[in-house]
Structure 1
Amino acid sequence: MRKEVAIVNCKAWTPEGIVDAVGIREGRVVSIGEEREVISDLEDPKIVNLGGLWLLPGLHDCHIHLPSYGIRRLLWTDLRGCKTVSEVISRLSRRKKENVIIGYGFGELDRLPTRSDLDRVSKEKPVVAVRVCGHLSVLNSKAMEITGLYSEKGIVRLDVSRVTSRLPPPSREDLRRAYEYVFSNLIEKGIVAVNYMANTSLFPRDLEVLSEIKPPVRIRVYVPFSNEIPKSNGPFEIKGVKVILDGSLGARTAFLKEEYSDDPGNKGTLYLGEDELREIRKSYDGQMAVHAIGDGAIEIAVEVLRGRDRIEHFSLPSEDSIELASKKKIIASIQPQFVSSDYWIPKRLGARGKMAYPFKKMLDAGIIMCSGSDAPIEEIDPVRGIEILMEKGLTFEEALRTYTLNGAYATFEERERGEIEVGKLADMTISKSPLGRTIGTVVGGEFHIKGGVLPHSESPLRLL
């Protein structure tokens, strides 16, 4: 890559306002402003004309499961959109030639599938159907036999990684294909950096394969808590550990202070108590990312965590939890797309449903929020996430910041990334408009355009 690049004829969103040119040297922004001034600040730059496209600060996805996104799209049966159990069985039956049959993505059906339903697909091979939230799976008899997870109806209310970790794993080649698939989607959606929440079922093989790849995005990893934390290696950087406190609202396993409105007697599942979480917090010096969705789980997390630790999801916080999280400077890692997906919340929670996803209240309280997709739970779509945040009362600038500067802040890199500013890394998103279709990215001054062609150009973009 040429050491100097001048991006001209653009609309660059900077702290100083909208400018029409950005100068880059050795991967960092060295000048912003008018085209003539930017070019004169450089010695022998490669000129890239964006034809009037926008340059936004590079978008982050602050909570994503990298290879799982590709695996579920490429190797598993897509159960999204199914309305009935019969439709689930029909789709799974198309994969009878597979040695392990896994379907993913069903939501609200006419009823929950059962072991006997999946036995109709196959009795000789393991069959698993996973709810879209990833916190409820249904196993056939063979899958229960192999995994040792027994239930009368085959319904297992655990994180899916605790199920798939007991089944034959994907090959290294499958993992490589999965990474390539998700990287292509990240480029198309304008993502320059991700926070990868490593899956228990794939760890550490996922990082071994990742170390052999040159990814087009910056990867910050949160690994499952254990006594041995791996070291950063080339294409990725270990930022902290991940701990799961509860499940999901969809599976009725998010831990609530009061029972579910549509499931009397059930308050959800708490995988770790406050004392256990406190012991983990004492034993680990780095940043922690704690999955907590229900108000009961969030209350425990905010009591235990320290400043700049993260609570992943933060879906149903009480006002007291919001106040304490703000006071302790705990980061809320949110998934705006959950708002539209969780349309059934009034049925699950009754009047408490109005407390879910209070992003404006959290912002007003001073909580730093960073945004992500939780893909493959949701699609990778930061533009839609920004739209939802605006629907919840945030301005465009406030919503954008959760995907940019706050994303850098969440991994202690706000002085290096997150804005188009002189001295910072040249990480930018190319877009047709601030809320329009994303075209590609610039990461450390290197362009990544899906297909290699800008919309206004007939020839591939090359900077070598």
Structure 2
Amino acid sequence: MTGYSLKGGMVYSAEDRNYVRRDLHMSAGVISPTPSEGSLEIDIAGRFVYPGFVDSHAHLIGTGRKNLEVNLEDCNSIESLAERLEVDREIVRARGWDQEALGFMPVREKLDSITSRPVILTRRCGHIATVNSPLIKLFSIERLHGLDGSDIELGLLKERALEELDRMIRLSPGEVQRAIHAGTQAFLKYGVTTVHSDDYHGIDYELLMNSLSGASDMRIYEKLCISKEEELDLIKHGQQFETPFFTLRAAKLYLDGSLGARTAAMISPYHDSPAERGVLYMTADELKPIVKRADRERIQVCVHVIGDRALEEALKAFEGSASESLNHRLIHVQIASEEQIKRMTDQKLTASIQPIFADSDKIIAPERLGPGRMRDAYPFGKMRDMGVPLAISTDSPVESTSVIRNLASADKFFSRRDSIEMYSSNGHILANNTESLSLNNGDRADLFVINVDLLKVTQDTPAEMTFVDGRLVHKL
């Protein structure tokens, strides 16, 4: 293995939360006090060095698929949509549309008017999709009508109906490998060396385990998506696949959907649609046995909660659990009352948050929630102040993997130094990783070099170099 000596950089100290100008040597996967024989010297004077960042909630394979599928993020008309869908594929998969930006819902009738190929268009949030008549006929999905509010006449699939379709269109081994590679590069580009990922969607279990365990350019802390107590066995079985780069110690469960799709489970009706309160995947009584067994088997439980009703059910289910030793986790928490936050603190729960959602949802959130509930929306600063351990994440492919975009959004809630801590060491803590990752001698050599000061910059900038285990895995 080639060693590296980075000369003259400004190295960010996690302990002091400031910079020290020094040389940094890497050998045998760790930071070393002196250069190894034959190490490669790189002059990084004027650049900044940081411990590798941790995205504490994302979808690695989903991120890669987004980069391989048709991207609809900037579509704003039926003409631009039709142009994007003009691809020669047996089944056209596309993602990223937003009805507010598009100006209409891309329902079955509209899709039928612009393409005869089977198409599935997933909204940017990943919680609803629309399909056309050829796809409905191909997979005979009429039986999914009504599931979680799905409407096959409109070609509209929500939540578990969309999951069911994903299981019908499983990814091939080649598609999985390409998605892992593309997703890995998307994170390494911004200095993210560890991802807490959720990938068990539309993929064969054994294929997923073999594929993730073969990855070595970044570290993957997999949160296996389950919905039943007996599926905890998949996590115990999957631990035989663990490597220094792949860890499987956590379960991920969905309790609700998203604000944009109006499937986040709310206590009160949606402000802009009084007939809807969202979709609740399971109650506290259904979740609690899963939490209890996970406690016995030392499995971390990570729960997707966006609406306040989903949060309430999660808090009830976690009462009396082993949260303090396992760091049981809430993911998203986009609306929470002060009383609910106090219960998070009392129950020793942690949270993976996405500050960038506050910017992305700045138009739809007031519409969905109304002025009263907006006071409890995006309560990240209050959660930190009340003692909830937080780690930052992107939920990619919902949002960009860009570190700086997320840091800039987090400026509304935290100091930049606090945000860097939440994007690095806190991510490891939430994964129950007690290793020192401060770039001191003997620490793991996961780091990145960038030509801007992350304490100040707001302009999106990729890393110049990213190292994992002392290996150069990304270079501009």
Query: TM-score normalized by structure 1?
Result: 0.87
Kept in 2, the 8 Å contact 1:293–1:313? The answer is yes
Letter in 1 for 2:234: E
Aligned to 1:445: 470
Amino acid at match of 1:384: R
Does residue 1:127 correspond to 2:119, yes or no? yes
1:29 to partner: Cα distance: 2.9
Q: Specify the SS of the correspondent of 1:228.
A: helix
Deviation at 1:105, TM superposition (A): 0.7
Segments of structure 2 that go 5 or more residues without pairing to the other structure are 146-150
Q: 2:307 aligned to 290, 294, 297, which one?
A: 294
The whole-number CA distance in structure 2 between the counterparts of 1:193 and 1:313 is 19
Match of 1:397 in 2: 417
Q: Would the alpha carbon gap of residues 399 and 186 (structure 1) be closer, same or farther in structure 2, given more than 3 Å must change? A: same
Please name the residue that 1:62 is paired with: 56
Confirm whether residue 309 of structure 1 aligns to residue 322 of structure 2: no
Partners of 2:269 and 2:83 lie apart in 1 by: 35
Give 1:356 deviation, angstroms. Answer: 1.6
Q: 1:100 aligns with which of 83, 87, 91?
A: 91
Say whether residues 1:379 and 2:400 are aligned partners: yes
Q: Output the CA distance in 1 between the equivalents of 2:211 and 2:167.
A: 20
> Over the residues paired in the alignment, what is the CA RMSD in angstroms?
2.2
Equivalent pair of 1:67/1:206 in contact (CA under 8 Å) = no
- 1:207-259: CA deviations, max 9, x gaps? 3223334x311111111221422223334110211100000000000001110
Following the alignment from structure 1 to structure 2, what is the Cα–Cα distance between the partners of residues 293 and 380? Answer: 20
Output the CA distance in 2 between the equivalents of 1:115 and 1:198.
28
Against the structure 1 CA distance between its residues 91 and 446, is the aligned structure 2 distance closer, same or farther, given a 3 Å change threshold?
closer
1:265 equivalent in structure 2? 275
**What is the aligned partner in structure 2 of residue 354 from structure 1?**
375
Q: Which amino acid aligns with 1:325?
A: M
Aligned CA distance change for structure 1 residues 43 and 144 (closer, same or farther; 3 Å): closer
Whole-Å separation in 2 of the counterparts to 1:122 and 1:417: 54
The CA distance in 2 between the partners of 1:220 and 1:25, in whole Å, is 24
Q: Return the structure number with greater helix share.
A: 2
Counterpart of 2:180 in structure 1 is 179
SS at 1:104's partner residue? strand
Task: Tell me what 1:51 maps to.
Answer: 45
State how 1:16-415 maps to structure 2 within 5 Å: 16=16, 17-19=18-20, 20-31=22-33, 46-74=40-68, 76-85=69-78, 87-92=80-85, 94-95=86-87, 97-107=88-98, 108=100, 109-122=102-115, 125-145=117-137, 146=139, 147=141, 148-150=143-145, 151=151, 152-158=153-159, 162-204=163-205, 205-213=207-215, 215-225=216-226, 226=231, 227-229=233-235, 230-231=238-239, 232-234=241-243, 235-284=245-294, 285=297, 286-305=299-318, 306=321, 307=323, 308-343=327-362, 344-351=364-371, 352-390=373-411, 392-413=412-433, 415=434
CA distance in 1, matches of 2:264, 2:368: 11
Q: Distance in 2 between matches of 1:24 and 1:101?
A: 45
Q: Report which stretch shifted further, 136-145 or 355-364.
A: 136-145
What whole-Å deviation, never above 9, does each CA across 1:123-143 have from its counterpart, x for those lacking one?
5x4322211101111122333
- What is the CA-CA distance between 1:18 and the residue it aligns to? 2.2
- C-alpha separation between the residues in 1 aligned to 2:161 and 2:443? 39
Identity over the aligned pairs, expressed in percent?
28
CA distance in 2, matches of 1:170, 1:430: 35
Structure 1, gaps ≥5 residues long: 32-37, 452-464
CA displacement at 1:334 relative to structure 2: 0.9
**Paired amino acid for 1:345:** A
Give 3-state SS (helix, strand or coil) of 1:153's partner: coil
Partner of 1:459: none
Question: Is the Cα contact below 8 Å between 1:56 and 1:434 reproduced in 2?
Answer: no
Task: In structure 2, give the amino acid aligned to 1:419.
Answer: S
- In 1: Cα distance, 2:108 partner to 2:438 partner: 51
Cα distance in 2 between the residues matched to 1:341 and 1:203: 33
Residues 161 and 201 in structure 1, CA contact (< 8 A), matched pair in contact too = no
- The one-letter amino acid of 1:117's match is K
CA contact (8 A) 1:135 1:160 kept: no
d(CA) in 1 for partners of 2:403 and 2:316? Answer: 31
What is the distance in 2 between the residues matched to 1:158 and 1:411? 27
Give the partner amino acid of 1:66. L
* 2:148 counterpart residue number: none
The 1:127–1:448 alpha-carbon spacing in structure 2 relative to 1, beyond 3 Å, is: closer
Maintained 8 Å contact 1:24/1:445: yes
Structure 2: distance between partners of 1:449 and 1:130: 30
Deviates more, 1:250-259 or 1:203-212: 203-212
Alpha-carbon spacing, 1:329–1:421, altered in 2? closer, same or farther (3 Å)? farther
Shift in Å, 1:195: 0.8
Instruction: Tell me, in whole angstroms, the C-alpha distance in 2 between the residues paired with 1:44 and 1:174.
Output: 38
Instruction: Quote the Cα distance in structure 2 between the aligned partners of 1:236 and 1:270.
Output: 31
Contact 2:171–2:202 (8 Å) recurs in 1: no
Q: Supply the distance in 1 between the matched residues of 2:48 and 2:161 (Cα, whole angstroms).
A: 39
Count of equivalent residues:
435
Contact 2:5 2:42 in 1 (8 A): yes
1:30 CA drift (Å): 4.4
Counterpart contact for 1:137–1:160, Cα < 8 Å: no
